[in-house]
Amino acid sequence: MLPKPCFPKRPLKVAVLGATGAVGTEIIKILDERSFPIGHLLPLASRKSAGNLQKWKNETIKIEEVNAKSFNGIDLVLASAGGSISKAWKNVILESGALLIDNSSAFRMDQGVPLVVPEVNPNDAFQHQGLIANPNCTTILLSLVLAPLTAEIPINRVIVSTYQSASGAGAMAMEELKQLSKAFLEGREEQSQVLPYSLAFNLFLHNSPLQENNYCEEEMKMANETRKIMGIPNLNFSATCVRVPVLRAHSESINIEFSKPFEVENARQILNSSPGIKLLEEFENNRFPMPTDVTGKDDVMVGRIRQDISHPNAIELWLCGDQIRKGAALNAIQIAELFLPKS
């Protein structure tokens, strides 16, 4: 199948696979907000959710159970139902002629599948063979910062610690955090059912499976996906990922070592003028980005940019970004927008 340079010049038929999840719901919301040219929207989910109603523009539309005929005549599929579901329907979608933009980790590292952050590597999207992968949420936020800086001075090494909200584990984890926090304040002990441990007034190292090198799957996703997006296959990279009791929006503490010293003020100016980034720094008030600053917002906020006092070639900074928006739904839609006819 040859890549399409753009979608047809007409309203599109768009399917959202996983329409009832946290990301799928946000995708539908953002499609409306950005006036994406849709003539027909098809929300798809499992049999369990079929028949439920989904708000779309000024009306409600019915959720349909995904089946082999769901993608007939569809131009674009935005999938956020998990890796197993994406793998199960991949061939059916591609054979239908639709472009599949997948939010799961199923295909991200596959050779020939572009892994795209539109502000960073938009041209990679046009090498697709019907399938484009949406990166991991923490990787998207990080790459927005790394790309404009490494364009100025090459990066030698990145060390990052993440502070990941409940939203990264989905809508059920967010609801569980609310319920367990309420129970804690009322003096009741309740066990977590969605996450392995309670996040109520607590935090724990990321719950994805540990690998042979004792890094968890989430940490290795960040390393490998960042290398692929940035086009730096040998980038020295280390991550520690943590779940924190925040409902929505992830934070990251980042140490970046360059090939030579990077003037902090120069880095500040570069980031402040880069797309998708907003600077928030009030050193006199010790006020820098917080999850509440970015919840429901498109931009990633960056602050506390400073010289690493332990290494002359390194700087440190802090960022916060909405995991559901730019970390997932918005990025997928921005990828699709690359293929819209330019007016």
| One-letter amino acid for residue 247 of the chain | L
Can you tell me whether residue 236 is helix, strand or coil? Answer: strand
Q: How far apart are CA 89 and CA 135, in angstroms?
A: 19
Amino acid present at 297: K
CA 111 to CA 126: how far, in whole Å? 15
Whether residue 167 contacts residue 244, with contact meaning beta carbons closer than 8 Å, is answered with: no
The tokens describing 122, both together, are 């938009």
Rg of the chain taking only CA atoms, in angstroms: 20
Q: What is the dihedral of CA 257, 260, 266, 269, to 10 degrees?
A: -40
Which residues belong to the active site?
Answer: 137, 250
Residue 102 tokens, joined: 């997948």
Place of tokens 């109603």: 53
CA end-to-end distance (rounded Å), the chain: 26
Beta strand 236-243 with 204-205 is antiparallel
- Tokens 């293929």, residue located: 339
Count CB atoms within 10 A of the CB of residue 107.
20
Comparing C-alpha atoms, which of 2, 27, 30, 32 is closest to residue 15? 27
Q: φ and ψ at 129, to 5 degrees?
A: -120, 45
